Structure 1
């Protein structure tokens, strides 16, 4: 991505499968915003870290170790829209990840989830800060055999598509490569 595109992109969406390099690509774009344009980077961690899960804690630590020391960390497990709305214009928010945030809210009924989703989309459309969102691709496999799995997959797919309509660029990261879908593809309305 040319440096000028990083500055002019208010909402950037990065999606892809597990271990594809999504977070690293988001970190690279956020670092460009900081070094080239003087933006303050705030890493928005959406996970609720269980303290008794050593493997999970190791994953969190690996993410921390990759980030520059001057980046701030904001833990936002539920109120992502409020964090986006409160961010100053000279800020780059790196939200990692939408799937984890959605999982924290998965027990919401359909009406409450629709309100939560609408609030997030509204805040993204009105954002003064740059927002880089990392989203997992979960719908490329079999349909989950249980209702909660289907709810997660369907909600994340719909949310990612709606954010994709707001974001520019939208990246697909797979196999360690980032593809700019905004430049290569055609957006589907609806």
Structure 2
């Protein structure tokens, strides 16, 4: 059975870094959700304008479909990154995925997010966007199905190892 894994969380939590490490370890394709944003979304974020729900729906659908297609057509597993900040967004991703999704949700303090975002180069998401993402963020509760919330307070390799251990414990890997 195919599986999609989304590494989620607000800006500065390590979604791409952890997702790429996980994909490399599991020999699965990686879909960078930020690259699927339409130009108007990128322009808004680059100018410090938070996205609205209406800005996000088509993008979330594209992320879900890209990950699903890669999982079905390639190795049976695909990893992707996508903020998936709220329960509604995560439900929407699941609804538009043709494969089961596990959403690994990375979260940390606003101060840590600001530190990480202000230290990165060449990304359209500036530190001026941290407040809106932090305020919108809904860390998954224990009863939210298909979610693994992780405090992103360790090096990316350790976070990857925790995810792999969870996948093995849950018998989600072939």
**TM-score, normalised with respect to structure 1:** 0.41
Bigger strand share: 1
